[in-house]
Structure formats: structure tokens, C-alpha cells
Structure 1
Amino acid sequence: MSTRDRRKPGWSPAQVSWREWLGLAAGLLAVASLFLPWTQLSSANPEVSAALAELPAEDVSRSVWKATFFGWLAPLLVAISGVCVVLLGQRPLLRRSGLPQLWLIAASVAACATVLAWVFVEWQFGAEQRAFLAVSGVNFDAASGRYLG
């Protein structure tokens, strides 16, 4: 039996390990990324770039909430699992019952969702909009929120 399993019952911030705090920090960072732009439209053509500059900011840079399901699934999943690990990680029964596996599975699902969000980055626009933007030479670029998330 490890020394971690012989701790006093109850929850104490002093008994949370650095790995658990790191998991919570990752979750909080993921939540912070939800408030940043996730998709940015750009173009190499100066005329199209000037036209994009005249559009409202919410049309040119999109938040995660206008993205696909995969866009906001990963940050929320990491945040929820980070909170679960910090709050429930001090209970030996839960640690032996699979709490570390919960973190591993949640991180794996979040990684898969992140990959799918990158693949389907254009899907936040309708089919007609995607066709028009492609003909116009507009690129769908990742913004700061997507990199941080």
C-alpha cells in the first residue's frame, strides 16, 4: 500500500499532488481557450483581404461556440476531468476503482476530438458559404483559441 493511500480521510488542498494540480490547470486553460477566437478567415489576395477587414469581427473570426461539436467537446472534457481528479483523487477507493483510467480515457477522447475539430474546421460555415469562400480564395486559419485549446 502506498503512502498516498494511507492519508487521512477528507479533502484537503495540501494533499493534492502536483500531477492533480497540473490536470486542473490544464482544464482551466482549456476553459480559458473557449473565450478566444478559434477560426480566422484570411486571404493572400489584397482585395479580398481588404474586404475581410471591412466585415464585422464576428464574421471573420469565429468562436468555438459557432464551431462543430468537436471544437468545444475537448476543452470541456479536459476541464471536467481535471476537476474530478482534484476533487476525487484523494479517495483511495476511487483511485483503485479507476480514477486514473478516467483521466486517461478523457484525455484520449479529447485528443481525438481535437484532431476531428481541426479536420472539420470549415464545417462551421454552410456549404454555400464554404463554396463561395473557396472560390474567393479565402483560407480557414486556426486562431489563438484553437492553439491554446
Structure 2
Amino acid sequence: MTLPNFVKSVTWREWLGLAAGLLALGSTFLPWTTLTATRPDIEDILTQLPHGDVVRDAWHSSFFAWCPPLPLLLAGLVVVVFGRIRNLRISGLPHLWLVVAAASLLLMALGWFTLDWEFDADQRGIFEAAGIAIGPGLGRFLGLFAALVSCVVAFLDVRAMRAESRQPRKARSKIR
């Protein structure tokens, strides 16, 4: 199969799954955890600190920040490369994609709820006394969005695979 034929044979769902994985990976380089202050004097101090002390990307945050985007990317790549193999699709490739996307979404949600655990108890106490809030950054929002998109598209792919398996062999080529 030549490259143009391969590109045409990949469904929009599979391309969207790969795009979600790439977006998730790209989001890891954006801020995932940020420190903000409500008082102007503390905000001035935060602006004078090194950028890495105030803003953290996924690679310098917790496990729940850097881990979930990697399976999303891997799932997107696998679905695009192996999605044309009928035996793999029937054997559960769309289901595997859905499970990986849901697990990544769950890990990101856990990361959201454990956001302050990136700092030890002493640091959290100092932050609270100074009026410093630990908050999510843009990367965390984009990563969560990518995981949601991947879940929805994987679910749609599972439904399409079920409809495809019920059709006679000649009609299957027209569905994709």
C-alpha cells in the first residue's frame, strides 16, 4: 500500500485519535501547575522567583501529569498504523483504544484532585499562610481535553466497528 492510499484509508476517527495523542504530548511542555497569589506584594515576589519555581510543566510535576499523555499518543499511533487490519479491529483494537483513553482520563482526573500533593506539607503550609494558591495551568486543561476527545472518538470507533461487523463483506468497504 502506497503512502497516499494509506492516508486515504485511515478514518477520520483514527486521525482524530492521533491528533488527540499529539495534543496531549504537546500539552506536557506547557504549564501544568502554577502558583498564584491574591495579595499584590506576594504576587511581586512570585514574579521575581525563577520561572520553574512558580510554573511547572508536566515533566516537572507529578506522575499524574506526565504519564497519561504517553498512552494516549501510543494509542493514537497504534490505531492509525494498525486500524486497517480487519482481524485486529474485530479482535478489539477499538476497545483497547477506549480502555487506554479512559484510563488516561482517569489518571488526569486523579492528578487534578492531587494537585497540591506536588508540594510537601511544609510548602503547602507556607503557601496557605502567604495566600498562595496552587492551580492548574493551560497544559493540564489541554491534556484533559485531548483525553476527553480520545475517549469520545474511541467510543464512536467501537460503535462503528460493531456496525461494520454486522454488515456483509461487500458493504463494509463503503462504511469506512
Query: 1:13-33, CA deviations, whole angstroms, 9 ceiling, x for partnerless residues?
Result: 221001000000001111110
Query: 1:43-94, CA deviations, whole angstroms, 9 ceiling, x for partnerless residues?
Result: 1111111111110111010111122211122211111111111011010110
Shift of 1:127: 2.1
Matches within 5 A, 1:55-94: 55-94=49-88
Matches within 5 A, 1:7-22: 12-22=6-16
Q: Could you state the TM-score of these two structures normalised by the residue count of structure 1?
A: 0.89
**1 CA distance for matches of 2:129 and 2:80?**
49
Conservation of the 8 A alpha-carbon contact between 1:89 and 1:95: yes
Structure 1 segments (4+ residues) deviating >3 Å: none
Q: Tell me, which stretches of 5 or more residues in structure 2 are unaligned?
A: 144-176
Report the identity percentage.
Answer: 43
Moved more, 84-93 or 122-131: 122-131
- 1:95 is paired with a residue whose SS is helix
- 2:84 is paired with a residue whose SS is coil
Corresponding residue pairs, total: 141
Q: Could you state the TM-score of these two structures normalised by the residue count of structure 2?
A: 0.76
Moved more, 139-148 or 126-135: 126-135
- 1:39 is paired with a residue whose SS is strand
